[in-house]
């Protein structure tokens, strides 16, 4: 116990040192000395528009080519699916006014009439069929979205505004998947005339805003679509999403009024942001989970004893308390409590460095063995976590080499190619709010973000949960699945995210999204 207290105190000192060295942040004491920052709220000069900071650029706006939250943050305003999900995470009508299950594998959709794409092309059953033929065809199979929708066999047109979706297998999560990402409806004529490459950079959808300017890695501008079918709900004329990877730069922009909303405000920045008299803080629980994923093809983490030892060696509770200031919830599997399938009976690995040492000894791991740990270079908070992890692992005889890399390279190249070291930061949005999507894409053999992991029992359980619409049976299967993954120590599950937003007080009726997908219905500015 005494040693644990000593380690905690040392960790706190380390965190304070890191915070002091990072740009754009200040301690609570500094803020008390300076008091509230006052001055003119320059944002009011912008008029009826918002400027939102986003930390990254998906590089591609085609819905079938991406799976990043950076895409959905912006693209939810540009594209729509057959169904929609509200800010309260409820499934509701979208481009389909209604739907009916004829049986477990047949769904009839009645489509909304009077809808047009941003180029004036009419939305109808032909557009829906084109979208799914493309998603499930040769072009879609090249991208990361395809595997989400393999349960769909085909879409048939019953009338100008009626379609039937035939499934080849039961899919209990299909409706929520239809609300976003790869299943949003795209314009057939526009893509056929201009080509897929043009569509990557110049997307056209049916959403409340049309994209009018895209400067890669700089900004995205969307403007109100005057012919939007629900245009009375949209009050803003324009939203500019400014790509600002560095949180210190983003904070400075917030405090000078150059941006209205700062996403992913770091915990260490909260007091500084709030010291500005025209800025308020908002927070929201999210389905996003964070872990340290192991590449099980690489020694020594190909040995389950080593993976378990690392889990025991890291004090996750102290990390959440001291680094995140409590803005995070401990998790036992790679999902948040918002996710259907979360196993509340499963406890996270406790902090037990002696047990970690014993397991490492059993696995014949030499003192001083070095592990490569890859993290994205723009995430200041996770840099602190990585330093804490290195400290904890050093206490049990392991050395850690932290490698900070550019975010797009990290996500799109290193992880899927198995080039992100023995362990790496893993963040997952959990956008379906169902463990099915996360579990399948993380643990099913051969998936884009699963370079090496395979477990035959996991494969059987993944197949079983997809074979029934019975929620009770699915919960039972997920319970067993999470227990198997926990025992196999596929990762060090750290926490589910509580995201902090810095918001200019001129913004009214804004609700931070649980899932990172901005919706601006009813939002106004003063």
Residue 132: pLDDT over 90: yes
pLDDT at 33: 38
The predicted model gives 319-336 an average pLDDT of: 95
Confidence of residue 431 (pLDDT cuts 50, 70, 90): confident
Task: For residue 92, count other CB atoms closer than 10 A to its CB.
Answer: 10
Confidence of residue 82 (pLDDT cuts 50, 70, 90): very high
Contact by Cβ (8 Å): 131, 219: no
Task: For residue 61, count other CB atoms closer than 10 A to its CB.
Answer: 23
| Among 46, 509, 40, residue whose Cα is nearest residue 255 | 40
Rounded to two decimals, the pTM is 0.74
pLDDT at 29: 39
Contact by Cβ (8 Å): 418, 372: no
pLDDT at 69: 86
pLDDT at 8: 56
Residue with tokens 């196999």: 488
pLDDT at 248: 94
Residue 105: pLDDT over 60: yes
Contact by Cβ (8 Å): 328, 465: no
Residue 129: pLDDT over 60: yes
Residue 264: pLDDT over 50: yes
Report the relative pairing of strands 152-159 and 162-167 from DSSP bridges.
antiparallel
| Among 6, 2, 22, residue whose Cα is nearest residue 272 | 22
Contact by Cβ (8 Å): 10, 383: no
C-alpha distance from residue 89 to each of 85, 167, 282, 434, 442 (Å): 5, 25, 18, 12, 23
How does pLDDT run across 495-522, given as a tens digit for each residue?
999 999 999 999 999 999 998 899 999 9
How does pLDDT run across 181-215, given as a tens digit for each residue?
899 999 999 999 999 999 999 999 999 999 999 99
Task: For residue 249, count other CB atoms closer than 10 A to its CB.
Answer: 14
pLDDT at 24: 38
pLDDT at 489: 98
pLDDT at 18: 47
CA dist., res. 29 & res. 224, Å (int)? 43
Residue 152: pLDDT over 50: yes
DSSP letters along 349-388, please? PP--HHHHHHHHHHTTPPTTEEEEEEEETT-HHHHHHHHH
Confidence of residue 147 (pLDDT cuts 50, 70, 90): confident
The predicted model gives 370-394 an average pLDDT of: 94
Contact by Cβ (8 Å): 22, 162: no
DSSP secondary-structure letter at 112? P
Confidence of residue 89 (pLDDT cuts 50, 70, 90): confident
Report the chain's mean pLDDT, rounded to a whole number: 92
Residue 223: pLDDT over 70: yes
pLDDT at 27: 36
Please provide the distance, in angstroms rounded to a whole number, between the alpha carbons at the two ends of the chain: 54
Q: Read off φ and ψ for residue 357, nearest 5 degrees.
A: -65, -40
């Amino acid at each position: 116990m005494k040693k644990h207290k000593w380690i905690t105190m040392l960790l706190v000192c380390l965190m304070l040192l890191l915070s002091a060295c990072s740009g754009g942040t200040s301690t609570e004491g500094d803020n008390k000395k300076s008091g509230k920052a006052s001055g003119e709220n320059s944002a009011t000069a912008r008029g009826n528009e918002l400027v939102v900071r986003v930390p990254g650029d998906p590089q591609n706006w085609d819905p079938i080519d991406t799976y990043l939250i950076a895409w959905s943050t912006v693209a939810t305003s540009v594209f729509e699916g057959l169904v929609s999900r509200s800010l309260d995470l409820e499934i509701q009508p979208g481009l389909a006014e209604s739907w009916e299950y004829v049986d477990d594998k047949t769904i009839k959709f009645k489509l909304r009439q009077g809808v047009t794409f941003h180029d004036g092309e009419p939305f109808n059953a032909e557009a829906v069929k084109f979208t799914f033929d493309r998603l499930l065809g040769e072009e879609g199979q090249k991208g990361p979205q395809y595997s989400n929708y393999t349960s769909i066999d085909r879409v048939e047109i019953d009338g100008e505004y009626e379609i039937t979706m035939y499934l080849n297998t039961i899919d209990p999560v299909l409706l929520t998947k239809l609300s976003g990402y790869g299943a949003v409806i795209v314009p057939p004529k526009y893509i056929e005339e201009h080509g897929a490459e043009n569509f990557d950079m110049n997307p056209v959808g049916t959403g409340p805003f049309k994209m009018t300017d895209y400067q890669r890695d700089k900004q995205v501008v969307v403007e109100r679509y005057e012919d939007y079918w629900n245009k009375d709900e949209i009050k803003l004329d324009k939203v500019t999403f400014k790509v600002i990877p560095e949180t210190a730069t983003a904070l400075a922009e917030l405090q000078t009024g150059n941006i209205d909303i700062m996403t992913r405000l770091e915990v260490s920045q909260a007091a500084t942001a709030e010291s500005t008299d025209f800025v308020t803080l908002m927070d929201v629980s999210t389905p996003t989970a964070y872990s340290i994923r192991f590449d099980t093809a690489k020694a020594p983490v190909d040995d389950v004893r080593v993976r378990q030892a690392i889990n025991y060696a890291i004090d996750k509770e102290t990390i959440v308390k001291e680094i995140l200031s409590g803005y995070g919830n401990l998790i036992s599997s790679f999902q948040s409590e918002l996710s259907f399938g979360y196993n509340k009976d499963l406890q996270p690995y406790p902090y037990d460095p002696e047990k970690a040492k014993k397991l490492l000894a059993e696995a014949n791991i030499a003192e001083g063995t070095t592990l490569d740990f890859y993290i994205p270079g723009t995430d200041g908070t996770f840099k602190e976590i990585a330093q804490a992890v290195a400290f904890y692992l050093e206490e049990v005889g392991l050395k850690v080499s932290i490698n900070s890399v550019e975010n797009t390279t990290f996500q799109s190249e290193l992880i899927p190619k198995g080039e992100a070291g023995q362990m790496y930061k893993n963040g997952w949005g959990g956008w379906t709010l169902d463990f099915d999507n996360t579990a399948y894409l993380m643990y099913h053999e051969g998936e884009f973000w699963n370079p090496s992991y395979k477990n035959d029992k996991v494969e059987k359980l993944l197949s079983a949960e997809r074979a029934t619409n019975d929620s009770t049976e699915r919960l039972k299967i997920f319970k067993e699945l999470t227990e198997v993954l926990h025992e196999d120590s596929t990762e060090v599950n750290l926490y589910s995210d509580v995201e902090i937003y810095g918001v200019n007080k001129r913004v009214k009726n804004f609700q931070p999204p649980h899932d990172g997908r901005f919706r601006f219905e009813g939002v106004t500015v003063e």
